């Protein structure tokens, strides 16, 4: 029996570097996909890739996913290690999500692998399983935003996710709006300052308590300059997500764009996750007629920027649309 699984990438509209302190985020699953086809059986996980030279071949028991070879097998090995499947899988994978561009190609692969191996938990359970898998594969303590966006995407909607209560509220993407993504630079969060940011937030929380409940005055009370800046970003970003969702609901695109641009400035000057190339691209977009706002998106240190624009205002980026979450199609005739 052929199994076909499709998992989308994601772009985050606002709410950056807030998920790992239980804050608010607002990503959407996008119409770029990773697809796995194949069949369950045997006692190995074997996948050929249309995008990688070497195929992978893994046993059903993996102790240390971070050492699997070739390198892309680490993401798959993380899922195998968490899932400990009883049966193997043989098939192929391909993707239209640019790899290593900050649009969650690795998370889409992991969600797709979990479904291909037969995992059938809830959206939340699938996201939590693949978050644990990702943390083991990469050694980076990333949050749960990307997995929830990929597993729980809703057609035509962005998702306001409360990463503390793990609740998802779909918010319709207003009419008369294009979401446009620009690739700036390849990046990996492995070896980046991502882990340092997670640690800095934990240090700030030891001083003023959970950042999700903190006020701007609490953040300003922190004596250490760096920790104060980090806390100020997170506290203000959580507020921006709520305001952005309200602006989307009322169709106030000017306000939504303004909040995105403000968010970028906060990531640049308080959180230090942007780069000069990202700042240049964001500045160029912000001064383009018909653009409501622009910001870096994802973990930062490279990756992509995202803009909200009137239809036709931007013609040189990737126009993306909000789509439904990962899905599995198990049928005799599931091949393309």
Angle at 252 between CA 11 and CA 102, to 5 degrees: 10
Tokens 């793990």, residue? 166
The DSSP secondary-structure symbol of 174 reads P
What gap in Å lies between CA 15 and CA 3, rounded to an integer?
35
Contact pick of 152, 299, 317, 325 for ligand GLA (by CB under 6 A):
299
Q: Name the CA dihedral angle for 247, 253, 259, 261, rounded to a multiple of 10 degrees.
A: 170
What gap in Å lies between CA 182 and CA 319, rounded to an integer?
9
214: its two tokens: 């903190």
Residues of this chain, 107-126, that bind ligand GLA according to CB under 6 A: none
CB of 104 to ligand GLA, least distance (A): 7
What gap in Å lies between CA 274 and CA 175, rounded to an integer?
30
Query: Is 146 in the active site?
Result: yes
Question: Given the complex with ligand GLA, which of 37 and 142 has the nearer CB atom?
Answer: 142
Coil, strand, or helix at residue 207? helix
CB of 306 to ligand GLA, least distance (A): 12
Question: Given the complex with ligand GLA, which of 37 and 273 has the nearer CB atom?
Answer: 273
Angle of helix 225-250 relative to helix 194-208, nearest 10 degrees, comes to 100
Residues of this chain, 14-33, that bind ligand GLA according to CB under 6 A: 16-17, 19-20
Question: Given the complex with ligand GLA, which of 2 and 135 has the nearer CB atom?
Answer: 135
CB of 274 to ligand GLA, least distance (A): 12
CB of 134 to ligand GLA, least distance (A): 7
Question: Given the complex with ligand GLA, which of 45 and 168 has the nearer CB atom?
Answer: 168
Mark 123-152 with x for binding to ligand GLA (rule: CB under 6 A) and - for no binding.
-------------------xx-xx------
Closest among 33, 150, 34, 133 to 92, alpha carbons compared: 34
CB of 147 to ligand GLA, least distance (A): 8
Start-end of H helices in the chain? 73-83, 105-116, 123-138, 145-152, 194-208, 216-220, 225-250, 253-269, 276-286
CB of 311 to ligand GLA, least distance (A): 27
Among 146, 280, 316, 329, which one carries the catalytic annotation? 146
What gap in Å lies between CA 139 and CA 65, rounded to an integer?
10
Question: Given the complex with ligand GLA, which of 19 and 272 has the nearer CB atom?
Answer: 19
What gap in Å lies between CA 141 and CA 206, rounded to an integer?
18
Phi, psi of 134 (to 5 degrees): -65, -45
Task: Count the residues of the shown chain that bind ligand GLA, applying the rule CB under 6 A.
Answer: 10
Question: Given the complex with ligand GLA, which of 47 and 150 has the nearer CB atom?
Answer: 150
Contact pick of 298, 302, 317, 325 for ligand GLA (by CB under 6 A):
298
89: its two tokens: 């899988």
**Residue 50 CB-density burial (10 A; 0-12 exposed, 13-18 middle, 19+ buried):** exposed
User: Catalytic positions, please?
Assistant: 146
List of residues contacting ligand GLA (CB under 6 A): 16-17, 19-20, 142-143, 145-146, 298-299
């Amino acid at each position: 029996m052929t199994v076909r699984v499709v998992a989308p990438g994601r772009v985050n509209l606002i709410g950056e570097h807030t998920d790992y302190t239980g804050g608010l985020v607002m990503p959407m699953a996008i119409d770029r996909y990773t697809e796995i086809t194949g069949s369950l059986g045997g006692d190995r996980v074997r996948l050929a890739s249309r995008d990688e030279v070497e195929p992978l071949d893994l046993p059903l028991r993996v102790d240390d996913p971070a050492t699997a070879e070739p390198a892309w097998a680490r993401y798959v090995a993380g899922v195998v290690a968490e899932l400990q499947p009883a049966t193997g899988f043989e098939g192929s994978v391909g993707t239209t999500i640019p790899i290593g561009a900050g649009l969650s190609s690795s998370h889409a692969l992991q969600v797709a692998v979990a479904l291909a191996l037969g995992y059938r938990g809830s959206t939340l359970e699938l996201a939590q399983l693949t978050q644990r898998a990702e943390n083991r594969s990469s050694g980076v303590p990333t949050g749960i935003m990307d997995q929830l966006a990929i597993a729980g995407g809703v057609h035509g909607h962005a998702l306001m996710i409360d990463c503390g209560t793990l609740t998802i509220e779909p918010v319709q993407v207003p009419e008369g709006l294009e979401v446009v993504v620009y690739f700036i630079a390849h990046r990996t969060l492995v070896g980046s300052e991502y882990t340092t940011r997670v640690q800095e937030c934990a240090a700030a929380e030891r001083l003023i308590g959970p950042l999700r409940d903190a006020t701007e005055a609490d953040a300003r009370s922190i004596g250490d300059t760096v920790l104060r800046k980090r806390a100020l970003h997170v506290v203000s970003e959580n507020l921006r997500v709520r305001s952005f969702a309200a602006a989307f609901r009322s169709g106030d695109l000017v306000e939504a764009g303004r909040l995105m641009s403000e968010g970028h400035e906060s990531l640049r000057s308080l959180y230090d996750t942007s780069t000069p190339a990202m700042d240049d691209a964001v500045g160029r977009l912000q001064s383009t007629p018909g653009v409501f706002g622009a910001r870096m998106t994802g973990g930062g240190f490279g990756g992509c920027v995202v803009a909200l624009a009137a239809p036709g205002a931007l013609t040189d980026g990737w126009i993306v649309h909000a789509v439904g979450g990962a899905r599995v199609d198990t049928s005799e005739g599931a091949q393309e």
